[in-house]
Amino acid sequence: MPVAQVNNINIYYEIHGEGEPLVLIAGLGSDSQSWQFVINDLSNHFQTIIFDNRGVGRSDSPSPPYSIEDMATDLLKMLDYLNIERIHILGHSMGGFIAQEFAIKYPERVRKLILESTAPFSSKRNNFLFNNLYKAWKSGMDMELWLQQFLFWIFSTKTMENEKFISSYIKYTLDYPYPQSIEGFHGQIKAIEEFDARNKLHKIQSETLIMIGEEDILIKPKEAELLYQGISRSSYPTYVEKTAHSIHSEASKSFTNSVLGFLYKYIR
C-alpha cells in the first residue's frame, strides 16, 4: 500500500498516468476513490495523484483538532516525499479549501489551480449543518438514513430522482472497506469551520478555474463568486448545468472537458 509518512502520520496515495503532475484533493468525508468517475480520463493526459486526507480512507486519523493548514502541509510533505516540485491542483469543496491554503502558502509550487464547488470560507449555515450531522452520527442514527440526508446536499434533483444510482451509491458507501471514523469526520468539520481565506486570496498567483454546479445548495454561487473577486488571475465562474455540489460525479465528461481545456492552455 503506497503511503507517505508526513507530519507523524501516514497518508495514502495513488499515482495514475504520466506527464505533468495533477493533484486531486477530495472534500469532506470523501477520499481518493471519490474521483473514480474522472480518474481514467485525466490520467490519460497527466500524472494524476489522488490521496486520502487525514481523517479519512486509508490515511491515519489522528485525534482532532485538525486544520486546513495541517492538511495543506500534509500535501506539501507528500509532494516532497514523492520528489514532485510543481503541480496543477484540483480541489473539491473542503479540498478546495486545502487547495487555496496551499496556493496561498506555497505559490511557487502551483502551476494552475482548479476550484470546484468551493468558497473562501465556510458559512455559519454549513457549520451548523455539519455539526448536526456529526451529532446525529454520534447519537447512533442509522447510517443508511444518515447518508440519505447527506446526499440531499450533494446531488442535483435529477440525480436524487435516479433511484438506481442513489441506491448503488449508498450500498457502495456502506460496503466500503475503509469507512471514515466519527473522529475523522469531527476533525474535518472543525477544520472547515475555522477556515477563512477571504483576506488572503490576493496571495494566490496561479491562473485559476472556478467551477460551480448550477444547482449547488451547499456552496451558494455568491459565496463561490468571492473567489473570482479575490483571485486576480481567476476566470469568471463556470456554471455547470444540471449538477449540484459533486460536478465530477454528476457530469464527469463535461467536467473533464473543462479541466483538460483549461490545463492544455498552459501546456500549449
Q: Please tell me the total count of domains within the chain.
A: 1
Between CA 177 and CA 49 the distance in angstroms is: 21
Tell me the pLDDT tens digit for each residue of 6-43: 989 999 999 999 999 999 999 999 999 999 999 999 99
Tell me: the pLDDT tens digits for 85-139?
A: 999 999 999 999 999 999 999 999 999 999 999 999 999 999 999 999 999 999 9
Cell output for 238: 463556470
pLDDT tens string 225-246: 999 999 999 999 999 999 999 9
Q: Distance of CA 66 to CAs 55, 72, 127, Å?
A: 9, 11, 15
DSSP conformation class of 203: G
Residue 65: cis peptide before it, omega within 30 degrees of 0: yes
Domain around 191 = 3-267
DSSP symbols for 55-67: TSTTS--PSSP--
Q: What's the confidence (pLDDT) of residue 116?
A: 98
**Which DSSP string do the residues of 254-265 spell out, in sequence order?**
HHHHHHHHHHHH
Q: If pLDDT is split at 50, 70 and 90, which confidence band does 1 have?
A: confident
Give the DSSP H or E segment for 182.
helix 182-194
Tell me if the pTM is above 0.95: yes
Percent of the chain past pLDDT 90, that is, above it, reads: 97
Strand partners, 196: 121
- pLDDT number for residue 268: 38
Residue with cell 469507512: 179
Over residues 135-163, the pLDDT tens digits come to 999 999 999 999 999 999 999 999 999 99
- The strands making up 87-92's β-sheet, listed across from edge to edge, are 3-6, 9-16, 47-51, 21-25, 87-92, 110-116, 207-213, 238-240
CATH number at residue 139: 3.40.50.1820
**In this structure, are residues 104 and 28 in contact, taking their beta carbons and an 8 Å threshold?**
no
Q: What are the tens digits of pLDDT across the range 249-263?
A: 999 999 999 999 999
Average pLDDT for the chain: 96
Give the list of residues 6+ apart from residue 261 with CB closer than 8 angstroms, or none: none
159-202: pLDDT as tens digits: 999 999 999 999 999 999 999 999 999 999 999 999 999 999 99
Taking the C-alpha atoms of residue 31 and residue 40, their distance in angstroms, rounded to an integer, is 16
Contact between residue 118 and residue 103 where contact means Cβ atoms under 8 Å apart: no
- Which grid coordinates are listed for 164? 438506481
Rounded CA-CA distance 75/157 in Å is 34
Q: Has residue 267 got a pLDDT over 80?
A: no
